[in-house]
Amino acid sequence: MTVTLSVTIDDDLSRDLATVVAGGNRSAVVAAAIREYIDRRSIAAAAAWHASLTGEDAAALAEFDATW
C-alpha cells in the first residue's frame, strides 16, 4: 500500500535535504529517515519492556540472551 504524505519543512532543513539528495530522490531519503525513526522507537520500546521484567520472566530473558 502506498500512502501520500504532505510535509512542510523549514528553509534550513530544505537546504540540508537538497544537499543530501543532490538531485536524487527526496522521497526515498525521507522514507529512509522515517524507517530509521520507527526502528529506533521499536528498539527503545523493546528495551523498556525487557527492563520491566522481573522474577522468572527476567531470568528467562537473561538465559535466552546468554545464548546470543
- Rounded mean pLDDT, 29-55: 94
With beta carbons less than 8 A apart as the criterion, state whether 49 and 57 touch.
no
Judged against a pLDDT cut of 90, whether residue 27 lies above it is answered with: no
The pLDDT-based confidence of 49 (bands split at 50, 70, 90) is very high
Contacts of 30 (CB under 8 A, 6+ apart): 7, 17
Report the alpha-carbon distance of residue 38 to residue 40 in Å, rounded: 5
> What rounded mean pLDDT belongs to the chain?
91
30: left (phi over 0), alpha (psi -120 to 50) or beta: alpha
Judged against a pLDDT cut of 90, whether residue 2 lies above it is answered with: no
